[in-house]
Amino acid sequence: MKKNILISVFATVMTALNSYSQEIFDYTKNPYGLVYRNAITENGPGQVNIHPVTYELNGNKISANVYTPANYNPAKKYAAVVVSHPNGGVKEQTAGLYAQRLAQQGYVTIAADASYQGASGGEPRNLDIPQNRINDVRGMVDYISKYPGVDADRIGALGICGGGGYTFAALQSDKRIKAGATLSLFNTGRVRTNGYQDSQMSTIQDRLKRASEAREHYVLTGESLYEGSDRQQTREEIIEAMSKLEPGTLYHDGLEYYSLTHRHPNSVSRYTTASLMDLMTWDATAYANLIDCPLLIMSGSKSDSDYMSREAYEKAGTADKEYFIIDGASHIQTYYIPEYVDAVVNKLTDFYENKLK
């Protein structure tokens, strides 16, 4: 019986390998390391340009990309949008895609790697503290508000997945952001506490104990313990792992996106175990009543994370809010599938044009 099961699994993996046809992006083929469709390969007059920049934030050097519109003229005044990447993501992936697409619509945009993550500085690596991520949003606002040609009174924000939860939280206090949007919002605090779809309620105290022990381990040894692995799996291992998950779900599609089709070496899914002490005592919606700016929350009609977007929308204090459904899309598919990206960009363009007047 066991032999038959192994043969069946092997056959499934080989079939998937032979039939796999998703477009795969190679970061080494792009001079800026970008891994998305129609990414910029060189700057030139009359087109959207990319500008790698660094700046200091709370003692860390932040790595970011600024995108300027076609025929950008610093003597003019532009609205700007700050774009926050998903958990485990980096600026070269979907955050960069949306920053570039919004620049094509005439906005100056910025996508930055979170502190302690990607190409940004900070030790220990992959520290995941909610307040740091909220400050990363504020830091992008700091930087872009002083960028030549940017009208500091017309700054919007877009947060994707985990970046959506942190952007939602930033809107509660940073009133420099005049219009906020989220895409496939992921409330990291709620998930780290309750589990995805509230599936780990019975282990909350055990995980807090493990986080506390990890912090003590760091104090005594200087070594950080991690949730998840930073080992790069082989293509065969990735597809085999995908075969055990339901297609269209966050974890199946996320494995495909981050480990196969849009892989980037700076993008890792792990985070320090001690971070759970902060994550599990935080919720993106805790002060949602303080949001008073125009708000757009977007979610795929087939997204299994939709319950978090719904909760955020319902709790948001602003009367000027809209819930937009991307028909047919799952959570991860909103990151890159052309028809869904087009739908999101069209909606964002209309939203920002009306709210950042």
Question: pLDDT by residue for the chain (357 residues), tens digit each?
Answer: 444 433 443 344 344 444 445 799 999 999 999 999 999 999 999 999 999 999 999 999 999 999 999 999 999 999 999 999 999 999 999 999 999 999 999 999 999 999 999 999 999 999 999 999 999 999 999 999 999 999 999 999 999 999 999 999 999 999 999 999 999 999 999 999 999 999 999 999 999 999 999 999 999 999 999 998 877 889 999 999 999 999 999 999 999 999 999 999 999 999 999 999 999 999 999 999 999 999 999 999 999 999 999 999 999 999 999 999 999 999 999 999 999 999 999 999 999 999 998
* Cβ burial, residue 238 (10 Å; 0-12/13-18/19+): buried
Which DSSP category does 283 fall into?
-
- What is the model's pLDDT at position 229? 80
pTM: 0.93
Distance of CA 133 to the CA centre of its chain: 11
What does the chain come to in residues? 357
Whether 181 and 106 have beta carbons less than 8 Å apart is answered as no
Domain spans in the chain, listed from the N-terminal domain onward: 20-187+231-267+283-355
Q: How far apart are CA 83 and CA 85, in angstroms?
A: 7
Indicate the CATH number for domain 20-187+231-267+283-355: 3.40.50.1820
Name the residue among 85, 171, 172, 188 with its Cα closest to residue 128.
188
Could you tell me which residues are beta bridge partners of residue 55? Answer: 62
